[in-house]
Structure 1
Amino acid sequence: MVVNLHARRIRADQAVIGELLDSLGGAHDRLWPRYWPPMRLDLTPGAVGGHGPVRYRVEDHVPGRLLRCRFLRPRGFDGYHEFSVRPGPDGTSELRHVIVVRLRRSAMLTYPLFWRPAHDAALEDLLDRAEREATGTVARPARWSPYVRLLRALA
């Protein structure tokens, strides 16, 4: 079982971060990083969407608080990914993303070699964008590793 968590505490009210989450995949998406394959997603439970070769079905959406999607592709990913927005201390909020997945067959090889490094880089870029949209700046911007830059060049 793989559990992959990314989280960022942002100096913004939960409602502000929730608005960013609710824009995900739409025509005026303010969360998904622009230099990754575009996210296309209707947040209605049952809707199917994704980005690049990744596809999933929306399982749950609580506006401003939660978005959970079940993986449909890539093959061998049996699980979900979830965004949540939580209130923090002193007027901050936490934006979290977690993948919980059981890998089968070829995904046991492709996840550590390709999917995990690309996903980790995309999620850190997404958290940078959330922080920039909410505060106007990013305290510690993410940087792609040489391996991620190689994977993107090959793709």
Structure 2
Amino acid sequence: MILNVHERTLPSAAGALIDTLSGSDDRLWPHDRWPAQRFDRPLGVGAVGGHGPVRYDVRDYEPGRRVRFGFRGPAGFHGYHEYEALAAPDGGCLLRHSLVLEPRGRARLTWPLIYRPLHDALIEDSLATAARNLGVAGDRPQWSVWVRLLRFLAGRRA
């Protein structure tokens, strides 16, 4: 079982950014650098979609607090990922993205070699996007050479 967690302490308004996911005013997803997150309807339980080759559906949604997505693809991805807005000790908000995955079959290789580095870079970009949209200064995360190579190769195939 894989548990992959990324988090950042932000101002208390960070939870509201979850509600903008995949909307016309999305202030959480780094759509300027990554494939846009799209669903067949507005964000809510039962919405189906994803980004790039990663497919999922909304399993649980608590506006301003949490959204959980269950994987539908790629093959061998069994689990979920979610954004949560938790109270931080300083009165702010701990914005957390968690991925819980049991890779099966080919995914036992594709997760660590391809998807994990891309996922980690995307989520760090997402947290930086959230910070920027809340007026928190900071640089964009730098991608590793491996992430840049994977993105280059993916772009050539498309």
- Both structures adopt the same fold (TM-score exceeding 0.5): yes
Q: Which amino acid aligns with 2:106?
A: S
In 1, Cα distance between equivalents of 2:16 and 2:123? 18
**RMSD of Structure 2 on Structure 1 (CA):** 1.1
Secondary structure of 2:15's match? helix
Output the TM-score relative to the length of structure 1.
0.93
Counterparts of residues 38-117 of structure 1 (less than 5 Å): 38-41=36-39, 42-117=42-117
Q: Which amino acid aligns with 1:29?
A: D
5+ residue gaps, structure 1, are: none
In 2, Cα distance between equivalents of 1:35 and 1:84? 22
Taking only the aligned residue pairs, the percentage that are identical comes to: 50
| Distance apart, 1:27 and its partner CA | 1.5
In 2, Cα distance between equivalents of 1:121 and 1:83? 16
- Equivalent in the alignment of 1:24: 21
Higher deviation after alignment, 61-70 or 32-41: 32-41
Output the TM-score relative to the length of structure 2.
0.92
- Equivalent in the alignment of 2:123: 123
- Equivalent in the alignment of 1:148: 147
Secondary structure of 2:4's match? strand
Query: How many residue pairs end up in the alignment?
Result: 151
| Distance apart, 1:90 and its partner CA | 2.4
In 2, Cα distance between equivalents of 1:147 and 1:102? 23
In 1, Cα distance between equivalents of 2:78 and 2:136? 37
Secondary structure of 2:134's match? helix
